[in-house]
Structure 1
Amino acid sequence: MEIDDDVYINKNLTMEGDFQRKKQPSRCVNVCLGLLCAILLAGNIAQIIYCNKNHLQISYNSLWKEKEQLKTSCNTLQKEKENLQTNCKIVCQTGWFKFDISCYFVSTLKKNWTLSRQDCITRGADLVSIDGMDEQEFVHGLLRTGQNAWIGLTDSLKEGTWMWVDGEPVTTSYWQPGQPNSYNGNQDCGEMVEKSGMGEWNDDGCFAEQIWICEK
């Protein structure tokens, strides 16, 4: 059977169009692919933003810690500066000995602990309070060989609880071995005992008479 040329050509064109449509993705597929790419791209951007945000937060926290450390260092340096300025301005009057930011007076008379303290107060001072090894060595160096001297140490308010006259608790002590022992239950005042090294403390009856050391 003979096929009309026009019919044959049209049929071939139709088949070729169908073939081309089958080879190319549909519009729906293109749209879906576009959306998928957009989602993936948005996810990557979000991840990048999240990572950058975390990095910035870590950097901020680190800078904040550095700021606080610098602030603390600055405060410490400021206090040291003030102490140095104060120390430089301190001039002890005649008969007083200077150490750090304090002046010390050693009596030549002998009195009981209460009267000794009263004498210090009339001089604008109080019996010495010792808060470290350097001061302990200095105060001990003010004594002559074999001397004992009253210091601002007492447990008269509560037996066994030793306090300085300014109300501060004793945090560092230099008691003789076995002291304080409150011998006969009547030793409520502290004294510096001259001894080789940096001296030691002993408890004694507040009624005993000996020299004393003032601090202001």
Structure 2
Amino acid sequence: MERRGACLLVCLLCVVPTATSQNATEKKDAANAEAIEELKKQMDDIWKELNLMKEQQALQTVCLKGLKIHSKCFLAGNHRKNYHAASEDCIAQGGTLSTPIKEEENNALLNYMFTTMGTEAQIWLGINDMANEGTWIDMTGTNIKYKNWETEITAQPDGDRAQNCVVLTGTSNGKWFDENCRAEKRFICEFNIV
């Protein structure tokens, strides 16, 4: 009996250091995992900051090449495209199709269009009523507040379901017309400056 008790005591003494050693290893592993997670978070933050700096640098380049109005930069596209292709082109560059939100922007776009494309040009605007006929929205899906429809010669918009996209025209001094989205027009991309 005493022998069995002694053996049990020796076994327990052998197990206790191993358990204590295991606890220390587990604590160390947990601390390492926590440190690794913190480093990953710091790296993600650095990448986000770097990408933001790249975006800001790209916007500055756009503003140097294009036109700056308040907190927006505008850059003319080089080719004629249908509405969707023009929109995708702007998005690929980090912007959207231009959408004037007040008369001053509309006039500045018109003048920029005259300078870069000529007085006869027409450009796509980032406005459509594809989702709900007669409800004109911008690229974010928000109902537009500023409108500059042509109303003296023709009562725009007049295309019903056949014309769901909007163009700004040079021949009508910046007035808007609804147009078939498959037509190929020039465009100007808009970039928000933070």
Q: TM-score, with normalisation over the residues of structure 1?
A: 0.55
Q: Structure 1: how far apart are the matches of 2:179 and 2:149? A: 12
2:129 matched residue in structure 1: 155
The percentage of counterpart residues that share the same residue type is: 27
The runs of at least 4 aligned residues of structure 1 exceeding 3 Å deviation read none
1:174 matched residue in structure 2: 148
Larger radius of gyration: 1
| Secondary structure of 2:119's aligned partner | coil
Q: Structure 2: how far apart are the matches of 1:175 and 1:152? A: 14
Q: 2:60 aligns with which of 72, 80, 91?
A: 91
Q: Structure 1: how far apart are the matches of 2:168 and 2:177? A: 7
2:178 matched residue in structure 1: 203
Q: Is the 8 A contact 2:98 2:125 kept in 1?
A: yes
Q: Is the 8 A contact 1:92 1:98 kept in 2?
A: no
Q: 1:128 aligns with which of 88, 98, 101?
A: 98
Q: Structure 2: how far apart are the matches of 1:157 and 1:196? A: 27
Unaligned segments of structure 1, at least 5 residues: 1-89
Q: 2:88 aligned with 1:118, yes or no? A: yes
Q: TM-score, with normalisation over the residues of structure 2?
A: 0.61
Q: Structure 2: how far apart are the matches of 1:196 and 1:149? A: 12
Q: In angstroms, what is the RMSD of aligned CA positions?
A: 1.5
| Secondary structure of 1:142's aligned partner | helix
Shift of 1:196: 5.8
Unaligned segments of structure 2, at least 5 residues: 1-58
Shift of 1:91: 3.1
| Secondary structure of 2:75's aligned partner | strand
Deviations 1:75-112 (A, max 9, x none): xxxxxxxxxxxxxxx73434322111111011120000
Shift of 1:115: 0.2
Count residues in correspondence: 125
Deviations 1:134-159 (A, max 9, x none): 10110111122110000101000001
